[in-house]
Amino acid sequence: MAKKVAFIGLGNMGGGMAANLVKAGFEVHAFDLSPAAQAHAKEEGCGIAETAAAAVEGVDFVVSMLPNGTIVESVYIDNDALLDVIPNTALVLDCSTVAPANSQRVGKEAAARGIRFVDAPVSGGVAAAAAGTLAFMVGGEEANFEAAREVLQPMGANIFRAGDVGAGQVAKICNNMLLAIHMAGTAEALQLGIDNGLDPKVLSDIMLKSSGCNWSLEKYNPVPGVMEGVPASNNYQGGFMVDLMLKDLGLAMEASLHSKSSIPMGSAARNLFSLHKNAEGEDKGAKDFSSIQQLYAKPQA
């Protein structure tokens, strides 16, 4: 008999993740407030629950992919109070990107009810979610991490245990802060070359074989027309939104204040993305974060 998974949150990331669980043979009970997201999940083979509480009835696993920590705490503890209805034999995996304190609160409340919990934020974006090649950064007890592999493997190519509950969120915050820094730097360097007469494709090829090589340059070039299949070549549509990057950089700032860490480059990246978001009076928050290139580009004559 197929194991049952409740999947809460069927947005750009969650929809693809839930579909991969169906393909792996799980019986997926899905819930989202969006009728369009529900319809898409149904097309992918998910059963649609009328409420989050109905979705978790009798399941073996609960997976959530939600927008922020306030909503995560509301769903599990405060308003929907799913922890009061989830079977105590189930394992809960929250894949949302939230503050470590959010995960720790949910983990503590889950433990008080005898429910196993891990935080498991992801890296890789919408394409990786659809392809089942995400990286998962997991925080939780070793035994719970090992049990989580069963449901994580159909959705991800790389699964890491970062430490105890909340550690997955710390790892994700650090990763995305670095991603913002090297994307902003890559865009800046490429625009400097363009402004001085270089072909961005030629410059990219040179830097890819030189010491400036990085993930943004290799996998996600921010200059339109240089690389196929990336948001930059689709008017910066799809991918990882500027608003989400700003959210993650805000989480990095919160974490640095808690640990009294110095993050001058993370702070600079946050300022750059904030400046880009509202440059020229246009809210670019829904564009892919590689659109930071537009902050540096000069207007066409």
At 276-296, the pLDDT tens digits run 999 988 899 999 999 999 999
- At residue 161, the pLDDT reads 98
Query: How many whole angstroms separate alpha carbon 183 and alpha carbon 293?
Result: 9
- At residue 114, the pLDDT reads 97
Question: Using one digit for the tens of pLDDT, what is the confidence trace for 60-102?
Answer: 999 999 999 999 999 999 999 999 999 999 999 999 999 999 9
Q: How confident is the model at residue 129 (pLDDT cuts 50, 70, 90)?
A: very high
For the chain, the domains span 4-164, 170-296
Only one residue has tokens 């189930």, namely 90
Q: Which run of H or E residues covers position 16?
A: helix 12-23
Only one residue has tokens 């799980």, namely 26
Query: How many whole angstroms separate alpha carbon 263 and alpha carbon 118?
Result: 27
Burial of 178 (0-12, 13-18, 19+ CB in 10 A): middle
| Angstrom distances, CA of residue 283 to CA of 18, 241, 291, 292 | 31, 12, 12, 13
Query: How many whole angstroms separate alpha carbon 121 and alpha carbon 288?
Result: 19
For the domain covering 170-296, report its CATH number. Answer: 1.10.1040.10
> How, if at all, do strands 134-139 and 122-123 pair?
antiparallel
Q: Which of 4, 172, 284, 287 is catalytic?
A: 172
Statement: 4-164 belongs to CATH 3.30.70.141? no
Q: Which run of H or E residues covers position 135?
A: strand 134-139
Task: Give yes or no for a contact between 100 and 125, defined as CB atoms under 8 angstroms apart.
Answer: no
Ramachandran angles phi, psi of 61, nearest 5°: -135, 150
Angle, vertex CA 153, rays to CA 11 and CA 131, nearest 5: 50
Task: Give yes or no for a contact between 69 and 157, defined as CB atoms under 8 angstroms apart.
Answer: no
- How crowded is residue 78: how many other Cβ atoms within 10 Å of its Cβ? 12
Query: How many whole angstroms separate alpha carbon 235 and alpha carbon 244?
Result: 18
Burial of 69 (0-12, 13-18, 19+ CB in 10 A): buried
Angle, vertex CA 230, rays to CA 65 and CA 191, nearest 5: 120
Query: How many whole angstroms separate alpha carbon 119 and alpha carbon 181?
Result: 25
- At residue 280, the pLDDT reads 82
205 pLDDT more than 80: yes
Question: Using one digit for the tens of pLDDT, what is the confidence trace for 157-176?
Answer: 999 999 999 999 999 999 99
Residue closest to 243 by CA, chosen among 205, 270, 207? 270
What is the pTM (predicted TM-score) of this model? 0.93
Would residue 42 show up in a list of annotated catalytic residues for this protein? no
